[in-house]
Amino acid sequence: MTEKFETVVSKINKPITYLLTAILWLVIIIVVIVTGVISENIYSHFKNYIKYDLSTFFMLIFALLLLILCGIALIMSLTYRKKEKIRKAVIDEKGVTFYNRENHVTDTILYSDLQQSKQSSGDAFMFTTTGRHAKSYLKIYLKNKMGEIVLTNIDFNFEYMILSNQFEMYRQFLRGIQCFRPDLTISRQTIEEYQLSPDFPPIKNFGAFEYIIVGFFTLTILGLIYAISLLF
């Protein structure tokens, strides 16, 4: 089985990632424009607001502060510690290694470090959050600095980056557990969900379909912007 094991590198879904990033920057630009419009309105009608309409004046100030805080939060989320954020993961016969934008190693999880659990759910299992933006994590057990065995996440949900082979990444690490740590138990549900059969059938690639979807949404957004511009 180990002869079939291959190194898998995370692949960024560039169309979706760039589209989401563009949408975020578009929101920031809109926030800046609206902030400017409100500021100009306050400056031009300052005396009238103070004399005749203090309630509107304070509402505008409150809205202005909210917009400024939102704009700062969005910009910081996109730019703060950008170089330190995980941008790549490599799975090989030793385990998984995470890299930042400068290709420096940020974290490594080795198969040899995985621990057995006393829980009935298994030594490794997938967990998916509930809610509107559900995310999947691989749950494993590791020893912390105190020597205690603790439940840990392997997370291929990179911040502001969408992976086109996220399913394959989780599946490959699970395959590594099967190959190099047969003493560990993977939950039955995870085995079925990630098709961890002996022949390891390949994962289908839907790259072309992703480009079509992104193109459709891009045209839709441009159409909405054009329609809105006709109203002014």
**Each residue's pLDDT tens digit, 123-166:** 999 998 887 778 899 999 999 888 889 999 999 998 878 899 99
Q: Which of these ranges, 96-100, 116-120, 136-140, has the smallest mean pLDDT?
A: 116-120
pLDDT at position 174 over 90: yes
* Confidence bin at 224 (pLDDT 50/70/90): low
- Mean pLDDT (the chain, rounded): 82
At residue 99 the predicted structure's pLDDT band, cuts being 50, 70 and 90, is very high
Mean pLDDT, rounded, for 171-180 = 94
β-sheet bridge partners, residue 151 = 141
Residue 38 has pLDDT above 50, yes or no: yes
Q: Is the pLDDT of residue 91 over 90?
A: yes
Q: Kindly give, in sequence order, each residue whose CB lies less than 8 Å from that of residue 184, ignoring residues fewer than 6 positions away.
A: 114, 116, 123, 124, 177
Predicted pLDDT of residue 219 = 62
More confident site: 84 or 125: 125
Query: What is the percent of the chain where pLDDT is above 70?
Result: 81
Q: What is the mean pLDDT of residues 76-102?
A: 85
Q: Which residues of 12-38 are buried (b: 16+ CB within 10 A; e: fewer)?
A: bbebbbebeeeeeeeebeebeeebeeb
| 46 pLDDT more than 50 | yes
Query: How far, in Å, are 99, 123, 173, 184, 204 from residue 168 at the CA level?
Result: 18, 20, 9, 20, 10
Give the model's confidence band at 199: pLDDT under 50 very low, under 70 low, under 90 confident, else very high: low
Q: Sorting pLDDT into bands at 50, 70 and 90, what band is 182? A: very high
The proportion of the chain whose per-residue pLDDT surpasses 90, expressed as a percent, equals 34
pLDDT of residue 79: 76
pLDDT band per the 50, 70, 90 thresholds, residue 204: very low
Going by pLDDT thresholds of 50, 70 and 90, the confidence category of residue 212 is: low
Stretch 198-208: mean pLDDT: 51
DSSP 222: H
How far is Cα of residue 136 from the mean position of the Cα atoms in its chain? 11
